Structure 1
C-alpha cells in the first residue's frame, strides 16, 4: 500500500528483498478471491464441494499476510515521522487515491444506470436515484474491497495512538484476543460476522508485523533452521483444517463460512507467512511485476474492473455459473482472475507514466 522500506543502508535493502515477493503473492490471492465465481454456490456431491473449498481456501492466507507485511513496513515510518507527519503522508499516498477511485466507480455506475434507465429499465433507479446512489456508495465503501483500505488506516491509527506500547508483548496479546472474539463469533453469532463488522479484528496482524520487524534477525535465523519438510507438513495440516472448518460452518448454517478470521485460517495464514519468509525473494516477481510500484494500483483498480467491466465481457447466457460444473467454475474463476489482474497491472503501469500517477500511489 505504497509503504516503502527505507533505502539508506545496504543491509536493510538486502535483508528485506522478500517484502515485494510476499506483497505480490498476497495480491494474487486477494484478486483471485474477489474474481472467483465459486462464492455461495452449492454443489450436490461432497467431491464437488471439496474441490470448491480447496480452490477458495488456498488463497485465504492473503489478507492476513498483507496486514503482516504492511505492519512490517510501517515500523520504520513510525520511528521516522511524528503521528501528524505520518498521517499527512498517508493522506497523500493512500487516502487521496482511495477516494478518487471510489468516486470514479460511483460516477461510472451513475452513467451505466442512466443508460439502462433511458432504455426503459431499472425502475428502482428511476423512482429513487438519490437513495439508490447512497446505497451504492455505502456498498462500495463497506462491502467491496475498498473497505479494507479504510480498515487498514483505522488499524494504523490505533497503533499510532498507543505508540508507546507498540513493542509490549501484552499489547499485542490484547489485540490477539480481540481477533479471536471474531473467530468465536462465527459459531455463536453474537454480532454480524461480515468483514465490515470486523473493525478491530486485523489490528493484531498489523501489530505482529511491526513486532516481527523489530526482532527480524532472530526470527529469520530461527525460520532458516526449520526443515522445509516441517514447514510443508504444518501448512498442509492447517490447510486441511481450514477446509474442514469451512465445510463445518456451511453445514451448520453459517453465511460467512470463508471468513478470514476463522481460527484455522489464522493458523494457515501464519504458517504460510512463515513459508514465504523462508522462501525469500523471487527475482522474477520483483523484477517483472514491480510489486512496490504496482501493488496499490492493482488493489484499487481490480474491484472496479470486477464490478463494471467483467460483467460486460461475460454477459452472454452461456456464462451462467449456475449451470457450470465445479471444474468449469474453477476454470472460469481463473480466467476472470487472469483478465482482472492483467488489466489492473497494465493500467497501473500506464498511469504511473502520466500525471495521474498519484491515483495509484505513484
Structure 2
C-alpha cells in the first residue's frame, strides 16, 4: 500500500508534526480554513437574498441552496480552532491566552469594528438629524445601536464567541476528556437548535455565546484522537461521505425553508441541527480530500483573518451600488439574477479583501483567527 496523504514524510517546513502514531499535517488545515472562509464570505454576499420571498418551489429551493452554502464555514472554523489549540492548551491559562491573542486577534478586531461602525455612522441619516437638532442623547443612543449592530448582526460576533469558548475550555482543560463536559456543551448547543423553532430567547445565531463551545471542544477531541480520526477517514469510502453530505445538505435546506415559513428571525442560522451535521460532514470530506496546493499557495494562514475582518466593509461599500443597479436598470430580482449578482459580488469581495490583506501585511507577522 502506498503512503497515505495523512502520513507525510518528515521534511523541514512540511507542516507535519508528530502526533500519537500519525503525523499531523497542518497543510490540510490551511486548505480547509480558506475554503471555510470562502463559505462565510459567500454567505455574507447574498445582499438581501435571504429576505426575498419566492413562491415557486424551484426558486425557493435554489434560494435555500444559495443560503446553505454560506452557513457551512462557521462551524468548521470552531472545529479548526479547537484542533489547533489542543497541542498548547495545557500551557495556557485564560489570562495568558488572552494576552497571546491581544495583538494578533483582539486589537485588529477592535480597530476594524470601530472603523466599520464609523462607516455606518457617516451614512446614517437619523444621526445627522439628531446632531443637527442638538439631540445629543439620541445621537449617543444611535451610536450604541450601530456599534451593537456591527458586532452582533455582522460577521464580527465570531471573535467574541471564539474567545468566550476558548477561555471556557482552557478553564476546564482538566476535564476535556470527561464525557460530562462534552455532553453538557452538546446540550447547550441543542438548546439553541431547538430555540430556533420556538424562540424562547433571541434566535439570532450571533447571540448564541455558548452554543459554539461544543465544536471547539470537538476539535480538541479530534486532535487528541488524530490516529483514530484518520483511520476512520481512510476506512470510509468516498461514496458514503458524498451520500451523507448530500442528504444532510438537503435536510439543512429543508429546515431553513421550514424556519422561514414559521417566521424565525434567523432561519438559516449556522447553529441549526441539520447544518451542524452538514458542516461536520463537510469538515470530514475536506480532511479526507487533503491539502490543495493551489489554495495553499494563497497562504491561508496569513491571509484568512484579514479577509474575515475586511469583507463586511467591502460588502457595505457595494451594497448601495448593487441596489441602485437593480433599480436603475429595472432588473427583476429573480432568483437567477440574484444568483448571478451573488457570484459577481463574491468574486469581487474575496479578491479585493485578499489583495488588501496582502498589501497591509507585507512581510509582517500574520493576523490570527485560528
1:297-316 equivalences under 5 Å are 297-307=306-316, 309-314=317-322, 316=324
What root-mean-square deviation, in Å, do the aligned CA atoms of Structure 1 and Structure 2 show? 2.5
2:38 maps to which of 28, 48, 53 = 28
Determine which of 59, 64, 74 is the counterpart of 1:48: 59
How many Å apart are 1:360 and its aligned residue? 7.5
CA contact (8 A) 1:178 1:201 kept: yes
Deviation at 1:201, TM superposition (A): 0.5
Contact 1:64 1:202 in 2 (8 A): yes
Displacement of 1:181: 0.7
In structure 1, the residue matched to 2:8 is none
Q: C-alpha separation between the residues in 2 aligned to 1:246 and 1:181?
A: 17
Residue in structure 2 matching 1:89, options 76, 81, 100? 100
CA distance in 1, matches of 2:131, 2:62: 39
Distance 2:363 2:291 in 1: 29
Change over 3 Å in CA distance of 1:10–1:19 after alignment to 2: closer
Residues 114-172 of structure 1 deviation map (CA, whole Å, 9 limit, x = unaligned): xx79xxx9535645432221211111122211111111111111111111112223211
The equivalent position to 1:340 in structure 2, one of 341, 349, 352, is: 349
Partner residue, 2:79 = 68
Aligned counterpart, 1:160: 170
Aligned counterpart for 1:169 among listed residues 174, 179, 185:
179
Task: Mark the runs of 5 or more structure 2 residues left unpaired by the alignment.
Answer: 1-12
1:198 equivalenced with 2:208 (yes/no)? yes
206-215 vs 79-88, which deviates more?
79-88
Say if 1:77 and 1:86, in contact at 8 Å, map to a contact too.
no
Evaluate the alpha carbon distance shift between residue 299 and residue 165 of structure 1 in structure 2; reply closer, same or farther with a 3 A threshold: same
Structure 1 stretches of 5 or more lacking a match?
Answer: 1-6
TM-score, normalised by the number of residues in structure 2? 0.87
Match of 2:50 in 1: 39
Q: Secondary structure of 2:209's match?
A: coil
**How far did residue 339 of structure 1 move?**
1.3
The 1:253/1:107 distance shift into structure 2, 3 A limit, reads: closer
1:296-324 residue CA offsets vs partner (Å, 9 max, x unmatched): 111001111122x1135435253589931
Larger relative contact order (Cα-Cα within 8 Å, sequence gap ≥ 6): 1
Q: SS at 1:255's partner residue?
A: coil
| CA offset digits 1:256-295 (Å, max 9, x no partner) | 21111111111111111111111111111001x2100000
- Measured against aligned partners, the alpha-carbon deviations of 1:177-236 in whole angstroms (never above 9, x if no partner) come to 110111111122211111233111000001000111111111111111111011000001
Indicate conservation of the 8 Å contact 2:104/2:366, yes or no.
yes
Residue 153 of structure 2, aligned match among 143, 156, 170: 143
Distance 1:162 1:349, change over 3 A: same
Corresponding residue number in structure 2 for 1:318:
326
Following superposition, the deviation at residue 10 of structure 1 comes to 4.5
Within 5 A, what are the aligned runs for 1:177-326? 177-287=187-297, 289-307=298-316, 309-314=317-322, 316-319=324-327, 323-326=332-335
Q: Distance in 2 between matches of 1:46 and 1:124?
A: 45
Q: Greater CA deviation, 243-252 or 104-113?
A: 104-113
Pairwise CA distance, 1:85: 2.3
CA spacing shift, 1:190–1:111, aligned 2, 3 Å: closer
1: distance between equivalents of 2:249 and 2:118?
A: 41
